[in-house]
Amino acid sequence: MTDLATRPAPTLLRRAAPALLGYAAVRSLGLVVLALWSAARDKSAHTLLTARWDSLWYVRVADLGYGYEVRLPGGDIHSNLAFFPLLPWLERTVSAVTPLSSADAGLLVSTFASLAAAWGIFAVADHVYGSRHVYGSREEEGREARPGKGGGGRRVGLCAVLLWAVLPVGIVQSMAYTESLFTALAAWALYAVLTDRWILAGTLASLAGLTRPVGLAVVAALWATALVHSWGRDRSSPQPDGAPAWRRALGMLLAPLGAAGYVLWVGHHTGKGLFGYLDVQAGWRNGFDGGYAFARFVADKFTSFPSALAGAGLVVGVALVVWLYVVCVRQGQPLPLLVYTGVVVALALCASSYFGSKPRLLMPAFPLLLPLATALARLRPARSVPVVAGIAVASALYGAFWLNGSGPP
Please report whether residue 408 resides in a domain: no
Average pLDDT over residues 376-401: 95
- pLDDT value, residue 245: 86
pLDDT-derived band at 310, boundaries 50, 70, 90? confident
Distance, CA of 230 to chain centre: 28
Closest by CA to 162, choosing from 321, 18, 334, 342, is: 18
Q: What is the CA radius of gyration of the chain?
A: 21
Average pLDDT over residues 140-165: 69
- pLDDT value, residue 236: 43
How far is residue 192's CA from residue 187's CA, in Å, rounded to a whole number? 9
How far is residue 242's CA from residue 257's CA, in Å, rounded to a whole number? 25
Please report whether residue 181 resides in a domain: yes
Indicate whether 166 pLDDT > 70: yes
- pLDDT value, residue 144: 40
Q: Greater confidence, 101 or 235?
A: 101
Give the whole-number percent of the chain exceeding pLDDT 70. Answer: 90
Indicate whether 161 pLDDT > 80: yes
Please report whether residue 15 resides in a domain: yes
Please report whether residue 409 resides in a domain: no
Structural domain boundaries enclosing 173: 4-403
Please report whether residue 265 resides in a domain: yes
Indicate whether 24 pLDDT > 70: yes
Lowest mean pLDDT among 104-118, 210-224, 341-355: 341-355
pLDDT tens string 47-103? 999 988 899 999 999 999 999 999 988 888 999 999 999 999 999 999 999 999 999
Please report whether residue 315 resides in a domain: yes
Average pLDDT over residues 205-231: 95
pLDDT tens string 93-151? 999 999 999 999 999 999 999 999 999 999 999 999 985 434 333 333 333 443 333 34
CB 103 within 8 A of CB 176: yes
Q: How many other C-beta atoms can be found within 10 angstroms of the C-beta atom of residue 73?
A: 5
pLDDT-derived band at 4, boundaries 50, 70, 90? low
Please report whether residue 152 resides in a domain: yes
Please report whether residue 220 resides in a domain: yes
Average pLDDT, the chain: 89
How far is residue 329's CA from residue 333's CA, in Å, rounded to a whole number? 6
Closest by CA to 23, choosing from 155, 163, 138, 147, is: 163
What single string gives the DSSP state of each residue in 233-298? --TT-S-TT-S-HHHHHHHHHHTTHHHHHHHHHHHHHHT-GGGHHHHHHHHTT--B-TTHHHHHHH
Indicate whether 277 pLDDT > 60: yes
- pLDDT value, residue 304: 81
- pLDDT value, residue 7: 63
How far is residue 247's CA from residue 95's CA, in Å, rounded to a whole number? 36
Task: Count Cβ neighbours within 10 Å for each residue of 353-381 and write b for 16 or more, e otherwise.
Answer: bebebbbbbbbbbbbbbbbebbbbbbbee
Q: Structural domain tally of the chain?
A: 1
Indicate whether 239 pLDDT > 80: no
Q: Which residues contact 22 (CB under 8 A, 6 or more apart)?
A: 158, 161, 162, 165
